């Protein structure tokens, strides 16, 4: 599983937990983190556990 997919699953689980516990500020911060991850999704998809996966090239 690439870093982006793993991060989005983790953030969505955290958002659901924060929402269930009625923590709106935490829900907001998690949504900001998800937006930041989406903005860097191409870089994160090329990595697995922070390491560039074989066959992928780093693009500026």
The length of the chain is 60
The pLDDT, as a whole number, for residue 2 is 77
Instruction: Look up residue 30 and give its two tokens.
Output: 């998690």
The pLDDT, as a whole number, for residue 56 is 56
Report residue 54: phi and psi, to 5°.
Answer: -60, 140
Instruction: Look up residue 40 and give its two tokens.
Output: 């860097």
Half-sphere exposure of 34 (CA within 13 A, CB side): 16
Residue 45 has pLDDT above 50, yes or no: yes
The owner of tokens 């989406």 is 38
The pLDDT, as a whole number, for residue 36 is 93
Query: Of 56 and 49, which is predicted with more confidence?
Result: 49
* Global confidence as pTM: 0.72
Average pLDDT of span 21-49: 90
CA–CA separation, 3 vs 51, rounded Å? 9
Residue 26 has pLDDT above 80, yes or no: yes
């Amino acid at each position: 599983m690439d870093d982006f997919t793993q991060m989005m699953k983790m953030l969505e689980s955290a958002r659901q937990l924060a929402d269930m516990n009625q923590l709106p500020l935490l829900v907001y911060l998690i949504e900001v983190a998800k937006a930041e991850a989406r903005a860097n999704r191409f870089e994160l998809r090329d990595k697995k556990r922070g390491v560039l996966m074989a066959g992928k090239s780093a693009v500026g």
